[in-house]
Amino acid sequence: MKKYIGCDLGGTNLRAAIVDVETGAVLHQMSIPTLAREGHDAVMGRMADLFLQVIQFAGMNKDEIGGVGIGVPGVLDLEKGETLFLPNLPGTWPHIPLQATIEKLTALPTRLLNDVRSITNGEWRFGAGRGVDTVAVFAIGTGVGGGLIVNGKLHLGIGGTGGELGHTTIDFNGPRCGCGNYGCLEAYASGPAIAATGMKAVAQGLTTRLGDLCEYDLNRITPKLIADAALDGDKVAKDIYEQAGFALGIAATNICVALGPRRIVIAGGVSQAGDLLLEPIRRTLRERVHVMPVEQVEVVRSQLGDHAGMIGVACWVAGNS
Ligand SMILES: [Zn+2]
């Protein structure tokens, strides 16, 4: 069985791994700085070099590699193999032929997939979504990404754009989101949104240890710092996670009603808060969902950590090439 390369194109780092798609094992991994400010041509050139190097350093030949999958942080046209809008990379990469460029530079069959859809596929195949046929993933970090497995298949929709769960509307009178809509989940539950609520609490003079913990440098308030304070019994900090979990729970309510998922997986850096975040999601589902057997829906943390996307996109290419 051939091995596959999974790549994670991040705003800071460019990572590539050789993946055994039958076991989900990462056989060899390399990481270099993305240096995104140098522009897409330079990044694509470095990416192609990285793929050839990871094959070499793994002691393999190119003919042992079945293909390359690239997890990309943004909106893509999967049919054309182009990037359309990558909000976190300078220049945003409009209509950049990433797939064709990598194929030309490496002579390896290449496919693109959204980064959180890659994580979704990885968690479903080898992580927290294993063994069930319908799964929704919320990945909470700088933004809120999403992905869906429906009836045993990664759901793509038009050009791979289906599954953007962070931009489901949870308050139609809510604030403007970066995407142009109003009241998106992302405005309530992303890492920066959680941190901003903590900053506001300190600025308002609420009774909380957050001010001491950040030494009154509000820029040092992070979701992690708020989680630490909450676990230490800080009521304000705990309420911040209650609010974010409630917002996620409302979005998850809509997903439960639409899809009847067996499992909801919470991924991304903010998911390290664990039950601080997961319990309010579970509670909101129990309170709000009455038309499907919500007690059968498990709400769990992701399991594959940093490797989920690279494993997931490698498996997806293996199953679709
Ligand atoms: Zn939005």
Q: What one-character-per-residue DSSP string does 49-62 give?
A: HHHHHHHHHTT--G
What is the distance in A from the centroid of ligand 1 to the CA of 261? Answer: 23
Contact present, 273 and 246 (Cβ < 8 Å)? no
- Cα 213 to averaged position of ligand 1 atoms, centre (Å): 31
Mean pLDDT of the chain: 96
d(CA 72, CA 46): 15
**Span 50-55, average pLDDT:** 98
Q: How far is the CA of 302 from the centre of ligand 1 (A)?
A: 23
**How many angstroms is it from 298 CA to the middle of ligand 1?**
26
> What is the reported pLDDT for 321?
53
Ligand 1 centroid – CA 115 distance (Å): 17
- By the 8 A CB rule, do 91 and 39 touch? yes
| Distance in Å, CA 321 to ligand 1 centroid | 32
Q: What's the 186 CA to ligand 1 centre distance in angstroms?
A: 6
Give which of 109, 37, 38, 35 is closest to 70, Cα–Cα: 109
In the prediction, which pLDDT does 229 show? 97
CA of 191 to the centre of ligand 1 (A): 15
18-42 average pLDDT score = 97
Predicted pLDDT at 24: 96
Distance 183 CA to ligand 1 centre (A): 7
Question: In a 10 Å sphere around its CB, with 0-12 CB exposed, 13-18 middle and 19+ buried, how is residue 152 labelled?
Answer: exposed
Residue 30, amino acid: M
Over residues 265-275, mean pLDDT: 97
Residue 252 Cα to ligand 1 middle (Å): 16
Residue 4 clears pLDDT 90, i.e. is over it = yes
DSSP E strand stretches across the chain: 3-9, 13-20, 25-33, 65-72, 75-77, 82-85, 110-114, 135-140, 144-150, 153-154, 263-267, 298-301
> Residue 3 C-alpha to ligand 1 middle, in angstroms?
37
Ligand 1 center to residue 164 CA distance, Å?
Answer: 9
CA–CA separation, 264 and 128 (whole Å): 9
Tell me how far the alpha carbon of residue 181 lies from the centroid of ligand 1, in angstroms.
5
Contact 51, 310 (CB under 8 A): no
Give percent of the chain above pLDDT 90.
96
**What's the CA-to-centroid distance between 270 and ligand 1, angstroms?**
18
Q: Are 238 and 277 within 8 A, CB to CB?
A: no
Beta strand extents in 141-184 (DSSP E only): 144-150, 153-154
Whether residue 179 has pLDDT greater than 90 = no
- Measure 71 CA to ligand 1 centroid, in angstroms: 21
Residues contacting residue 293 through CB under 8 Å, at least 6 positions apart: none
Q: 184 CA to middle of ligand 1, Å? A: 5
The mean per-residue pLDDT over the stretch 80-98 comes to: 95
What pTM, to 2 d.p., does this model score? 0.96
Q: For residues 45 and 55, give the distance between their C-alpha atoms in angstroms, rounded to a whole number.
A: 16
* 8 A C-beta contact, residue 256 and residue 249: no
Distance 165 CA to ligand 1 centre (A): 9
pLDDT category of residue 88 using cuts at 50, 70 and 90: confident
Contact yes or no for 286/298 (Cβ under 8 A): no
Residues near 67 by beta carbon (within 8 Å), at least 6 away in sequence: 4, 5, 108, 109, 110, 111, 317, 318, 321
Q: How far is the CA of 59 from the centre of ligand 1 (A)?
A: 44
Burial (0-12, 13-18, 19+ Cβ within 10 Å), 55: buried
Measured in Å, residue 117 CA sits from the centre of ligand 1 at 17
pLDDT, tens digit, 9 for 90 and up, residues 121-168: 999 999 999 999 999 999 999 999 999 999 999 999 998 899 999 999
pLDDT at 39 over 80: yes
- What pLDDT is recorded for position 1? 87
Query: What spacing in Å lies between the alpha carbon of 167 and ligand 1's midpoint?
Result: 4
Residue, of 31 and 1, whose pLDDT is higher: 31
For residue 58 the two structure tokens come to 């793994």
Q: 173 phi and psi, to 5 degrees?
A: -105, 15
Question: Residues within 5 Å of ion ligand 1 by Cβ?
Answer: 167, 177, 179, 181, 184
32 burial level (CB within 10 Å; 0-12, 13-18, 19+): middle
Distance between Cα 161 and ligand 1 center (Å): 13
**Coil, strand or helix: which one is 174?**
coil
